[in-house]
A and B are shown apart, each in its own frame.
Chain A
Amino acid sequence: MKHLFLSCILLSFFFFGCNSNKGNSEKLDMNQLLSENSEAQELEISEESLNSIIQSLPSPLEIASVIKGSDVPFNEGLLNKTESQENFTTDFEKSLAMGLYSGNLGYINVYEKSYLAIKYLSAIKNLADDLNIGQFFDFETIKRLSENSDKIDSLIYLSTVNFEKMDQFLRSQKRSNLSVLIVTGTWMESLYLATQVVKTKRNDQLIERIAEQKMILDQVLLIVSAYKAEPFFADLLASLGELKTEFDKVTITYNYMEPTTKEVNGRLVIVDNSTTSVTISDEQVANITSVIGKIRARIVSGSAV
C-alpha cells in the first residue's frame, strides 16, 4: 500500500508538475539581446529566446500585402523556379529553400494565384518530406482548396497552420537550426520580392517597409549567429553581414506617446499615438536591392549562401 501511495505522488508530479514553471520563465528582452549581440563577439542565446525570436518574425503575407497595395501586377518571373529544387542537396540548403518557396507562397496567395499555389506547395512538400516534416501537410485538402479560387482564405489559413506545426515540431525535436533557416529564407525572399517590385514602380509605403526590415535583420542575425559554428551558418552570416552594412545606413526613430483605448461594438480598440519614422535614400534602396539580389542568386543556384 505504501508503494501505491508513493506511486500516486510520483504520478501527480509527472502529470501536474512538469508544466508548473512554464509561467515563471524569465522574460525575453529583445532590445537587450540585440544590443548584447552587437557588442559581444560570442553571445550565448538560450533555446527559449531562440524559439521566441523565431516566432516573432513577421509573416511573409504582411509584406506581400504591401506589395499588392502598390498596384504593381503579379510577376511570376520574380519567383524562385520550382525546378531549382534539384540544386538543394543538404538539409541546410533544403531548409533555406523551403523558406524561399514559403516567401513565394505568401506573394502568390495574396495575389490569389491559386493555380501557382499548388505548384509551390508541392515544392515545399517535397522538401519537407526530405526533412521528415512532410507529415504536417494535409496535401489533399490543400489541393482541393487551391482548385477553387473562392477558398483562398482557407488555403492561406491551412498553409499557415501547417507551417506552424512543422516549425513547432522541428523545435521540439531540437532541430531549431532548420527552423532558423526556414524563417531566414522566408524573410530573405520577402525582402527580395519587395525590392524587385520597387525597382519596377516606386512606392513610398513599400520603401518604408523595406527600410523597416533593418529591425528584422537584427533579429535574423541573432538567430543565425546562434549556429555560426556550422560552416553553412557562418557563410550565411557573412552574406547577411553584407546586407547589414547597407541597412546600417538607414535610420529609424521611435516616438513614444501614451496610447488610449475605446470600446467599439464590444471590441477593445487601441488608439496608439506612438510613431516610427524612417530615413532611407534612393541610393540605399538601390544598394539593398543589389545585395539581396546577389545573395538570393547564390542561394537559388545552390552554389553558396
Chain B
Amino acid sequence: MMKKIWFFLLVLFATASQSAFGQCQTDEFLDNCASRLESFTFIKAFNTSMTKTGAEEFSYVFSKGSNYLIIVCDQNNAGERMIVSLYDRNRKLIASSYNPKTKTYYPDILYPCTATGVYYLEAKLEGAKGGCGVTILGFMKSE
C-alpha cells in the first residue's frame, strides 16, 4: 500500500512539474514561436522557467547595421505573462515588452541597432508561481 502511495505521489509531482514547465521546453513550442520570425533569421532561443516570480538575464552582442527582432513567447495566461526588457551595455533600460502606463503587452520588439556592443535581455515572469517562456532572437541586415 505504502509503495503505491509513494508511486502515486511521484507521478503526481512529476506530472505537475512537467505541465508547469515542460511545455515551453519542447521543440513544438519553440518551432511555433520561431515561426513568428517571418523574414528574420533565427539566432538564438533563451529558455526561462521558474517556480516563483523572478527574472533571468541573457546577454548578446548586437551589431550596428542589423535589425533585431526579439520575440516574447509565453503561455499567454493572464497574470502569468513573461515580460522581456532590453538593456544597453551600461544596464540602462532601452525598452520593455510591457508598458505599465497603457497596460500593453507587446509580443515582439524590433531593435534597429546603431551601436555595436553587449546588450542584456531580462525575462521576467509575473506570476507568483512562476511559469515558463522562450525569448527568441532573430536578425536581418539593414538595407
Contacts and interface: CB of A to CB of B under 8 A. Distances in A.
A196 B130 CA distance: 49
Interface in B45-76: 45-46, 49-61, 63-66
A118 B111 CA distance: 33
B90 interface: yes
Interface of B: 2, 5-6, 9-10, 13-14, 16-17, 21, 27, 30, 34, 41-46, 49-61, 63-66, 86, 88-92, 94-95, 97, 104, 106-118, 120, 125, 130, 139, 141
Interface string A266-277: 111111111110
Of residues B2, B27, B60, B116, which shows the largest number of chain A Cβ atoms within 10 Å of its Cβ? B116
A151 to B, nearest CB: 14
B94 A270 contact: yes
A23 B112 CA distance: 28
Contact of A22 (B34, B54, B89): B54
A202 to B, nearest CB: 17
A59 B34 contact: no
Interface residues of A, number: 63
A4 interface: yes
B58 A62 contact: no
Interface in A8-44: 8, 11-12, 14-17, 19-20, 22-24, 27-31
A231 B95 CA distance: 44
Contacts of A17: 51
B95 A274 contact: no
B66 A215 contact: no
A247 to B, nearest CB: 14
Contact of B59 (A12, A23, A56, A259): A56
A8 B9 contact: yes
Contact of B54 (A11, A24, A62, A274): A24
Contacts of B60: 55-56, 58
A209 B66 CA distance: 11
A58 B63 contact: yes
Contacts of B89: 30-31, 254
Contacts of A20: 50-52
A208 B113 CA distance: 14
20 contacts: A4-B2, A15-B13, A15-B17, A19-B51, A22-B54, A23-B55, A28-B57, A55-B46, A59-B139, A65-B66, A69-B141, A215-B118, A219-B61, A256-B90, A267-B106, A268-B109, A270-B94, A270-B109, A274-B114, A276-B117
A268 B116 contact: no
Contacts of A255: 115
A251 to B, nearest CB: 13
Contact of B51 (A16, A65, A66): A16
Given A27-B120, A65-B41, A274-B88, 19 more contacts: A15-B14, A24-B54, A31-B90, A55-B44, A55-B58, A58-B60, A59-B44, A160-B42, A161-B42, A164-B45, A215-B117, A254-B115, A263-B104, A270-B94, A271-B112, A272-B112, A275-B114, A275-B115, A276-B117
